[in-house]
Chain A
Amino acid sequence: MMPPLLALQGVSKSFGGLEVITDVAFNVEAGGRTALIGPNGAGKTTLFNLISGVYRQDKGSIALSGEDISDIASRRRIGLGMARSFQNIRLMPHLSVTENIMLGQQARAGSLADMLTPLSLFGRTKWRREAEELLGRMGLDTYPGEVVATLPYGIRKKIEVVRALAASPKLLLLDEPAAGLNPTETAALSDFLAEIAETGVTLLVVEHDMGFVRSLCDHAVVLNFGRKIYDGPTGSVQEDPDVLEAYLGRRNRNEDAAASAREGIHAA
């Protein structure tokens, strides 16, 4: 049997004595579209940081296509076929849009010859053409030469996704790609990602927007306080008692907020 594309086993991580990921295990099957959801502070971003190697887990193992990558340096992981985006936009502010995308290609273009060939001096190289083509597919070809720092939030959010795609990954990790986008943009992003998934790219998406999750993902993993509380089809996630408790339970522990929320409903 084929090993799952991504497999986490018993993964734990503490920061200064506080355990924020506890014994998390789940698989992401190749070709799937998995959502990673959970309340704020549940540990979703931390899990992405462990998978991409920004941090190393204290316990457990992370395997890609059956191979343990725990000891593989963060910079080599993108070359193994996983790329990620960031919740807080982490584009290079002084680079142009196209340059940011070309940076995303780095894992495929690290040879000395590639490094020392000009990207634009004598006409456009294949790297630049490829980057512009990718931007075009996302409807972003209005801005190729623009310096990223000057662009609006929604655009930069999309460029983050395209930059991760530029690595031609097998596994694409997206941390809240739809946050801050309006409903039209969110729907377009969902369609775009579904199209990407059609080409064989496996998705693991952190997202709060349940509409987005339901339209895009077939599978969901739910975290709460660093523990996995649900691992199953997206369709039944909102009926799961543990998940309901995680979201409602938070509100119960915060009686005042719940009370004022109810008052708000009555007043409206």
Chain B
Amino acid sequence: MGGYWSGILAILAINVIFAYGIFLPVATGQLNLGGAGFQAVGAYAAAYMSYTYDWPVALTLILAMVVTGGIGFAVAFPILRLRGVYLVLGTFAFAEVVAGLILNSETLGGAIGLPVPAFVDYEVPVVLAALVTLFVFYLMATRFGLVMRAVHDDEVVSDLMGVSLRGVKVAAFAVGAGLCGLAGGLYAHTFTYVEIQAFNALVSINVLLFVLLGGTQTAFGPLIGAAFFTLLPEALRVLLPQLQASVASLFGAAGDMRAPDDSWRFVILGCVTVLMMVFRPEGLVTRTLVERFKPRRRSGLAAAEASA
């Protein structure tokens, strides 16, 4: 496999794990706009142990996940007291605090960053992404997953049904943070270098977009969202020059030989985002859509009615 495609596959796999990390709190109705912060914690935890103590990758990844999950757990208690847009701002602020702390930390390389000696090829993120996907599908099939979705739909009624709102939200937030940390650790070992600029606000916004546009009602959503938004820019990278050339030739001009202007990709990406929000506000994959593709399980009564 070419380096280009294996690179994209690695990014896709990391984004899928990252998206599931944000999906879990979002599926309970908690928007998390601090994705980059959690990813940075995981990335720097892995990078630091790999760089300073030469830890093997398996250990750095576990550490990245546990440390980030632990921080997510600790942060969840104060931060989940916030609601709606205040929660969004609170998680966003968390990511800014993380970035600020890392930027000012000598040990973590400050503005320069840290090299990561251990490189992992695309297989590792791909296998881990598959495992994480299975894990989230499993989780969503349990009563815990049921309760997560219930809390998303109606907190008052969930509470009256005996659901611990706090417990469900904190658990989803912390486990999600752990997954963001794993995505960060994989990022560190895939790019073999971490610098805090890579974990900026745009990253947090993008991953939340993956999740919201993919759909938050089923575990298919983040998978589709991450795939779509990782591959679309790449497709545009290839298609855009051709598009520009054909538009140019339409006006009789010679094909535009300039390197494709990166900003146009964002324009198209932005338009696609707006269109999806207008036409599929609940995300690409909704519960109703999934049900439509499932084989109908006819019960006795339904069968009797049908034959009558």
Q: Which residues of B contact A104 (CB under 8 A)?
A: 161
Q: A94-B152, A119-B143, A142-B302 are in contact. Are A107 and B161 (CB under 8 A)?
A: yes
CB <8 Å contact, B163 and A142: no
Q: Which of B261-308 contact A (CB under 8 A)?
A: 287-288, 291, 294, 296-297, 299-302, 305
A52 to B160, CA, bound (A): 7
B252 to chain A, nearest CB (A): 53
A94 to B146, CA, bound (A): 10
Q: Which of A53-81 contact B (CB under 8 A)?
A: 53-54, 74-79
Q: Which residues of A contact B165 (CB under 8 A)?
A: 75
Q: Which residues of A contact B305 (CB under 8 A)?
A: 142
Give the interface SS of chain B, mostly helix, strand, loop or mixed. helix
Q: A118-B138, A142-B305 are in contact. Are A75 and B163 (CB under 8 A)?
A: yes
Q: A90-B154, A94-B217 are in contact. Are A119 and B146 (CB under 8 A)?
A: yes
CB <8 Å contact, B300 and A102: no
Q: Which residues of A contact B78 (CB under 8 A)?
A: none
Interface presence of A265 (CB below 8 A):
no
Interface presence of B249 (CB below 8 A):
no
Q: Which of A144-152, A190-198, A244-252 contacts B (4 or more CB under 8 A)?
A: A144-152
Interface presence of A120 (CB below 8 A):
yes
B134 to chain A, nearest CB (A): 11
Interface presence of B133 (CB below 8 A):
no
A250 to chain B, nearest CB (A): 30
A114 to B144, CA, bound (A): 8
CB <8 Å contact, A94 and B291: no
Interface presence of A268 (CB below 8 A):
no
Q: Which residues of A contact B161 (CB under 8 A)?
A: 75, 78, 103-104, 106-107, 163, 167
CB <8 Å contact, A145 and B160: no
Interface presence of B153 (CB below 8 A):
yes
Interface presence of B192 (CB below 8 A):
no
Interface presence of A170 (CB below 8 A):
no
Interface presence of B2 (CB below 8 A):
no
Q: Which of A114-170 contact B (CB under 8 A)?
A: 114-121, 127, 132, 136, 139, 141-142, 144-147, 149-150, 163, 167
Most buried by B among A115, A132, A145: A115
Interface presence of B150 (CB below 8 A):
yes
CB <8 Å contact, B160 and A116: no
Cβ-closest chain B residue relative to A104 = B161
CB <8 Å contact, B162 and A79: yes
Interface residues of A (CB under 8 A from B): 52-54, 74-79, 84, 86, 90, 92-96, 99, 102-104, 106-107, 109-110, 114-121, 127, 132, 136, 139, 141-142, 144-147, 149-150, 163, 167
Q: List 3 A-B pairs, minimum CB-CB distance, nearest first.
A: A107-B162, A92-B153, A118-B141
Interface residues of B (CB under 8 A from A): 138, 141-144, 146-147, 149-150, 152-154, 156-165, 217, 287-288, 291, 294, 296-297, 299-302, 305
Contacts A116-B144, A132-B299, A144-B299 known; list 14 others, CB within 8 Å: A75-B163, A75-B165, A86-B157, A90-B156, A92-B154, A95-B149, A95-B153, A106-B143, A106-B162, A109-B143, A114-B143, A119-B146, A121-B138, A141-B300
